Homo-oligomer: A and B are copies of this chain.
Amino acid sequence: MREIHPEHLDDMARGAGILGTGGGGDPYVGKLLAQHAIREHGPVTVVDIHEVPPDATVVAISGMGAPTVSLEKIPAGTEEVTALRALERFLGRQATHLVPIEVGGLNSMTPFIAAARTRLPVVDGDAMGRAFPEAQMVLPGLIGVTVAPMAVADDKGNTLVLETVSNLWSERLARTACVEMGCSVSCADTVMRGDQLADGLVPATLTLAEDLGRTVREARAAHGDPVAAAARLLGGVRLLTGKVADVQRRTSGGFARGQARLDGLGGDDGRSLELSFQNEHLLARRDGEIVATTPDLICVLDTDSGEPVTTEGLRYGLRVTVLGVPCDPRWLTPGGLELAGPRYFGYDTDHVSLNR
């Protein structure tokens, strides 16, 4: 158990931005909103999974929508609590702990916004060990925990509470509401008991994000190689160092979708890497060959600074290095691959192991 103050969130948001594999929302926006909430309401307690009582009511807090939208349509900062209260009213009981649904730039921070305002503790972990674009892509789904009941709230004060027959229906109905509400909303869902967290969460990912963010910052300050330092910490493999040569992007169906092409520089001169994304990076082809696929993490970092580059931050000429990072092993089970493997997203390939 420890207290999180605004200054802790700089490193955590940076690291979560890297683990977000291009998605999970913009780390800068999320950090500012969470820091503002903590300054106003006081520090947030973070607890380890094993510190949570077995009968605790743990609620995942997140933002849903296209990161391209949330960058310009900044959340009001009240939607998280509105969603939480609507869910609690439905449940007939109050949440005892909050948890991130994913460790991504914005979505690692959203639970802190709600936690500061409600004085609830945040659990150190998340339901993916990375970021994914769709609501049903969560490890709790593999142990029978449903996304619904799911509350969705917008910046205007509209809320809805969903009960569904499947997690795919939760995604479909929340997504269409999200689009109609302006493509950037807050969600409270995936209610777990404390004794389900060991199986339902990837543990200690908030601490990992903070360590990662600190490592990058310190390597940069020491004039070292922040990207190499990040790769060492994560056990990641370098896929390409180059510059962004082309980006095709569209916001459709409530997602930011597209492709980017990187041309190699230095040791990678003459090579190219093509990234395909739906909010998050899903597939990397190097010189036409698939070298990394979802559910492994495909992380794009600024080559000089080691800062995370989100899919919506990709722009022509940017110098970046792409890392492949192994996902939580539960994602490589048949159930995990069915939820978030490359075939779910329409790519005609099995999961490809990262070459070390």
- A residues bordering B, Cβ < 8 Å? 86, 89-90, 156-165, 169, 172-173, 176-177, 179-181
Q: How many copies does the complex hold?
A: 2
6 A–B contacts, CB within 8 A, in A order: A89-B90, A160-B161, A173-B177, A173-B180, A173-B181, A176-B180
Q: Which of B163, B177, B180 contacts A158 (CB 8 A)?
A: B163
| Max count, chain B CB within 10 A of own CB: residue among A86, A163, A181 | A163
Q: How far is the CA of A163 from the CA of B162 in the complex (A)?
A: 12
A176's closest neighbor in chain B, by CB? B180
Contact B158 A162 (CB under 8 A): yes
Q: Which residues of B contact A163 (CB under 8 A)?
A: 86, 158-160
Contact A165 B161 (CB under 8 A): no
Q: How far is the CA of A159 from the CA of B169 in the complex (A)?
A: 10
Q: Which residues of B contact A173 (CB under 8 A)?
A: 158, 160, 177, 180-181
**Closest CB-CB distance, A349 to chain B, in whole Å?**
30
Q: How far is the CA of A173 from the CA of B179 in the complex (A)?
A: 10
Q: 10 extra interchain contacts, Cβ-Cβ under 8 A, other than A158-B163, A160-B163, A173-B180?
A: A86-B163, A158-B169, A160-B160, A160-B161, A160-B173, A160-B177, A172-B180, A173-B181, A176-B176, A176-B177
Q: How far is the CA of A177 from the CA of B161 in the complex (A)?
A: 12
Closest 3 CB pairs of A and B: A176-B180, A157-B165, A158-B164
